[in-house]
A and B are shown apart, each in its own frame.
Chain A
Amino acid sequence: MSKNRVSRRQFLNYTLTGVGGFMAAGMLMPMVRFAVDPVLQAAGESDFIPTKQKVAEITETPTRVDYTYEQQDAWYTSEVTGTAWVYKDDKGEIVALSPVCKHLGCVVDWNTDKSNPDHFYCPCHGGLYTKDGTNVPGTPPVASLDVFPYKEKDGFLYLGKAEPRKEA
């Protein structure tokens, strides 16, 4: 028999401390997790939506780029398709324009009006925008087309949320 025998009193003390420790940890751990949670959340990444457009294949002619994302409408989630007009400007920089007319929200098309080639044309009320998205005076729209912030990742184009263009 060893010298330090565990007495009944000691045994009960050890067990109670152990069980109490478990209970305290069970209560504290979720609390700590909740407190830390905002820090652990992935930041910013989800704001950019991937498209199927390869950055290397973007030309100087505006092309339609479709992308899909999930839109949450209260408890109903639906898949929504969005469109952007994407091209490279003279300096080789990518420009991604929103196709939504600033007049009443129709969808504009590139180069479809025969009397105004190389313009964005809105079929609803004849709104015109130049290639860089500036509205042509004398047509109904009062502002330039919105611009998407973009990112390049693994050779593909990622689009953010369209923003009104800052006046130059």
Chain B
Amino acid sequence: MKWISQDIDMFLKEKQYVDTAVLPLLPVSFGDDIKQSVAMTEFISLLSVQLERQFRGRLIMLPGFAYLKSASEDSLIGGLGQWESELKVQGFKHIFLLTSDSMWKAFEGQLEGGLIWLPSLPLEHMDENYRNSILDDQVKQLLNLFVQKWQNGE
């Protein structure tokens, strides 16, 4: 389900079936790495749309955690920690963090949710068909990962 009123109505009705929250982590920077942060944000956004379409009945796709690359790591981890504990309180059994930013990989141990790191691909140089098929492949791998985690959790 997406973070739109139509889907949230469904969420409120079928809450017992929705046990997974996915939070895309979207970096923003205006420094030297501006292009890189845009590519990461774009890639993760496209991926999360596809992912939501496949698993819309069991997960809720949150609007995304946008953060400044220039912010201190402590404050970023603290901020994300607040999200995680809130989601936990709300009863989500599985929390997935979706990112292309390798910075988070270093702090994986401090995060409670499952961190999924995917290297971002240079989508800007691809034509649309090729891009879609590449994204499809990436999503397929993600699907397996999700199904596995769900099966282990049961």
Among A79, A105, A140, point to the contact of B56 (Cβ < 8 A).
A105
B143 within 8 Å of A (CB atoms) = yes
A107 touching B58, Cβ below 8 Å: no
Judged by a CB distance under 8 angstroms, whether A131 is at the interface is no
Contact-residue bracket for chain B: 10 to 19
Q: Are B57 and A125 in contact (CB under 8 A)?
A: yes
Q: Does B105 contact A (CB under 8 A)?
A: no
Using CB atoms and an 8 Å cutoff, list the residues of chain B in contact with chain A.
Answer: 10, 14, 17, 53-58, 128, 132, 143, 146-147, 150
Number of CB contacts from chain A to chain B under 8 A: 35
11 additional contacts, CB 8 Å, given A104-B14, A104-B56, A124-B55?
A79-B128, A81-B132, A104-B10, A104-B17, A104-B57, A106-B55, A107-B54, A107-B55, A123-B146, A123-B147, A124-B58
16 example contacts (A-B, Cβ-Cβ < 8 A) are as follows A79-B128, A103-B17, A104-B14, A104-B57, A104-B58, A106-B54, A106-B57, A106-B58, A107-B54, A123-B55, A123-B143, A123-B150, A124-B17, A124-B55, A124-B57, A125-B17
Bound-state CA distance A140–B14 (Å) is 12
The smallest C-beta distance from B15 to any residue of chain A, in angstroms, reads 11
A103 to B1, CA, bound (A): 13
Nearest CB of chain A from residue B34's CB, rounded to whole Å: 26
Main secondary structure of the interface of B (DSSP, over half): helix
| Chain A residues positioned under 8 Å from B150 (CB to CB) | 123
Q: Does A95 lie at the interface of the complex (its beta carbon under 8 Å from any beta carbon of B)?
A: no
Listed residue (A107, A122, A140) with the most chain B CB atoms within 10 angstroms of its CB? A107
- For B17, what are the chain A residues with a Cβ–Cβ distance below 8 Å? 103-104, 124-125, 140
Closest Cβ neighbor of B143 among chain A residues: A123
Query: From B144, which residue of chain A is reached at the shortest CB distance?
Result: A123
Which residues on B sit within 8 Å (CB–CB) of A104? 10, 14, 17, 56-58
Asked if A101 contacts B128 (CB within 8 A), the reply is: no
Q: Name the A residues within 8 Å of B10 (CB-CB).
A: 104
Q: Smallest Cβ distance from A66 to chain B, in angstroms?
A: 9
Please give me the residue from chain A that is nearest to B7 by CB atom. A105
Residues of A within 8 A of B147 (CB): 123
The CA-CA distance from A91 to B138 in the complex, in Å, is: 38
Report yes or no: B56 in contact with A106, Cβ–Cβ below 8 A. yes
Kindly list the 10 A-B residue pairs having the minimum CB-CB distance in the complex, ordered from nearest: A104-B57, A124-B58, A106-B57, A124-B57, A107-B54, A105-B56, A123-B147, A105-B57, A106-B55, A125-B17
What residue in chain B is nearest A104 (Cβ atoms)? Answer: B57
Q: Which one of B14, B57, B58 has the highest number of Cβ atoms from chain A below 10 Å of its Cβ?
A: B57
Across the two chains, which residue of chain B brings its CB closest to A79? B128
Closest to B154 in A: A126
- Bound-state CA distance A125–B57 (Å) is 8
